[in-house]
Amino acid sequence: LRIDTKSKKVRESVENNLKELLDCHDETCSSCVANHRCQFRDMNVAYSVKADTKEICSEEGIDESTNAIRLDTSKCVLCGRCIRACEEVAGTSAIIFGNRAKHMRIQPTFGGTLQETSCIKCGQCTLYCPVGAITEKSQVKEALDILANKGKKVTVVQVAPAVRVALSEAFGYKEGTVTTGKMVSALKALGFDLVYDTNYGADLTICEEAGELVNRLKDPNAVFPMFTSCCPAWVNYVEQSAPDFIPNLSSCRSPQGMLSSLIKNYLPKLLGIQQDEVLNFSIMPCTAKKDEVERPELKTKSGLKETDMVLTVRELVEMIKLSNIDFNQLPDTPF
């Protein structure tokens, strides 16, 4: 059996499908988060497709109901990748196809908002989306504004271990290259006063989890097995889809949560300032961390969030580029 995927008939079919999608696609490409990495745009260029008419096919617009994920149906090309990622990778079904024919669209399950579904904010859908229909909830502008107008406030940022590798790839380095020193320099250039390594928070988590495990082993009524609570997406999944296992979760905070507690509660005392004079940021590889910091149990006694803002690696890359920082030419700076 021989299948020709480059025949005239196949090419015409692809062109027709692209044209139908483009006719009702939001073409604000220059301001889209997927600009320069949009597979739909690349295919339209490759097949020389242009829209004949322009109509708005999106009926719902933008869903920003969660703390982590943004859904813009006007940019959706109905590829279904996000649905498969949600179901097969994340193990949930927060997104489905809705309606039929030209009214078909991606929508949260049961037609509500994403916040009303079983979404665990893991962000797997954002990784597989070929356009800018599903993205992390960007806080780039807000972060740059804070850094530019911080006044006398102390800006602190902690960085997860994975960031120093993912950041390298974004700036052209070979996969697996570690550029910790350049990363710290970039953060300092952006305006952060203090840069901390979340590895220290991970060390604290290991110690606390080990202590909790020992205590459980001594308690004949303790619940086993004991599950880690480091991943907020995993915690969301247990709370929403497997509540019977909540007692199995460790009571320990995530590394981000532990280090943020120290930064917000002890650093002000060391510097001789008030808690609200410390702005605590976090650079994480997971969108669910944006959701985690909104938990009421992760606030100070005075009601302040211990982590003021979480930025993903993609957001950090955008901030560096918008600030015209030449990452490759930066010197190495220690934490």
Amino acid sitting at position 101: A
**Which of helix, strand or coil describes residue 29?**
helix
> What is the C-alpha to C-alpha distance for residues 286 and 127, in angstroms, rounded to an integer?
11
> Checking DSSP bridges between strand 105-108 and strand 95-98, what pairing results, if any?
antiparallel
Whether the predicted pLDDT of 87 surpasses 90: yes
> What is the C-alpha to C-alpha distance for residues 108 and 236, in angstroms, rounded to an integer?
17
| Residues 115-153: tens digit of each pLDDT | 999 999 999 999 999 998 999 999 999 999 999 999 999
The torsion angles phi and psi of 64, rounded to 5 degrees, stand at -120, 35
pTM over 0.85: yes
Token pair of 207, please?
Answer: 């110690």
Q: How many CB atoms lie within 10 A of CB 57?
A: 17
Q: How many CB atoms lie within 10 A of CB 295?
A: 15
> Checking DSSP bridges between strand 69-72 and strand 134-136, what pairing results, if any?
antiparallel
> pLDDT grade, residue 31 (50/70/90)?
confident
Q: How many CB atoms lie within 10 A of CB 176?
A: 8
Domains of the chain as residue ranges with CATH: 8-136 (3.30.70.20), 140-201+253-329 (3.40.50.1780)
| Residues 183-223: tens digit of each pLDDT | 999 999 999 999 999 999 999 999 999 999 999 999 999 99
Whether the predicted pLDDT of 53 surpasses 90: no
Helical pair 140-148 and 313-322, crossing angle rounded to 10 deg: 50
> What is the C-alpha to C-alpha distance for residues 125 and 92, in angstroms, rounded to an integer?
11
For CA atoms 121, 122, 125, 129, give the dihedral sign: positive
> pLDDT grade, residue 38 (50/70/90)?
confident
Nearest CA among 271, 280, 51, 62 for reference residue 159: 280
Whether the predicted pLDDT of 57 surpasses 70: no
> What is the C-alpha to C-alpha distance for residues 166 and 179, in angstroms, rounded to an integer?
9
